[in-house]
Structure 1
Amino acid sequence: MPFSQRQRPLYEVKAGLFKGLAHPFRIRILELLSASPEVSVAELQDETGLEASHLSQHLAVLRRHRLVESERRASHVYYRLADPRVAELLAVARALLLGILQSDGARLDDALALPALPPSA
């Protein structure tokens, strides 16, 4: 049964959420933000190794899809997760990834070596 015209915008918002997650660097940025209450752009740049312009583009996508919020203080910009459930979503995605990779030993070892995620609340 197709969804109704009334339901369509809800599915579009949900698809937008996944578009926001659809890049390895954006996932890493979200993981970094899930480990701290807030992180400066300079720290994100150091941790990701991205050029400032590329980091800015990824952060803009995350803001557009309401996954992060930013705050300017003096000459610094700080980011935080827009909702703590984003960290929970990342943890569930990590668990799903590990389950999928159980049959692929080498890739599972790589996945297990990923930086730790903070515990879910």
Structure 2
Amino acid sequence: MDMEMQRFKAEFFKALAHPLRIRILEILAEGDKSVNEIQQLVETEGSTVSQQLTVLRAKNIVTGIKEGNRVIYSLRDPLIIELLDVAKKIFNNHLAETITMLDRLKDADKAE
């Protein structure tokens, strides 16, 4: 059972392993959107956005509901928003550590 969960997690994170998919999720965190709305916000071709949405749908990360002649996308689980927030905090922590290290190196160079 543990190996199944590890595979699930690996596949889940693979689906997130693209900057445009992350951007799409950030946009959907603000509310449901159509492909055209997402396309305008990311300033990318509709076909590219559709390809990335297909990946996210295949991994059950987003859902699409047909309304007339368009599909409205939403996050399947609102916990995705928390996951992205935690990832941002981790990035910021690493960035802060790097800045601190660079400051120390500058100080050491000045002392020499």
Same fold (TM over 0.5): yes
Of 5, 12, 17 in structure 2, the residue corresponding to residue 17 of structure 1 is 12
Of 13, 26, 30 in structure 2, the residue corresponding to residue 31 of structure 1 is 26
> Which entry has the higher C-alpha Rg, 1 or 2?
2
Question: Structure 2: which 5+ residue stretches go unaligned?
Answer: 100-112
Give runs of ≥4 in structure 1 deviating > 3 Å: none
TM-score, normalisation: structure 2: 0.83
Give, in whole Å, the separation in 2 of the partners of 1:95 and 1:47.
24
Matched, 1:61 2:55: yes
SS of residue matched to 1:66 = coil
Cα deviation, residue 49, structure 1: 1.4
SS of residue matched to 2:77 = coil
Q: Percent identity among equivalent residues?
A: 39
Report the structure, 1 or 2, having the larger helix content: 2
| Aligned pairs, number | 99
TM-score, normalisation: structure 1: 0.77
Cα deviation, residue 104, structure 1: 4.4
Q: Deviations over 1:88-109 (max 9, x none)?
A: 101111111111111445xxxx
Give, in whole Å, the separation in 2 of the partners of 1:103 and 1:96.
11
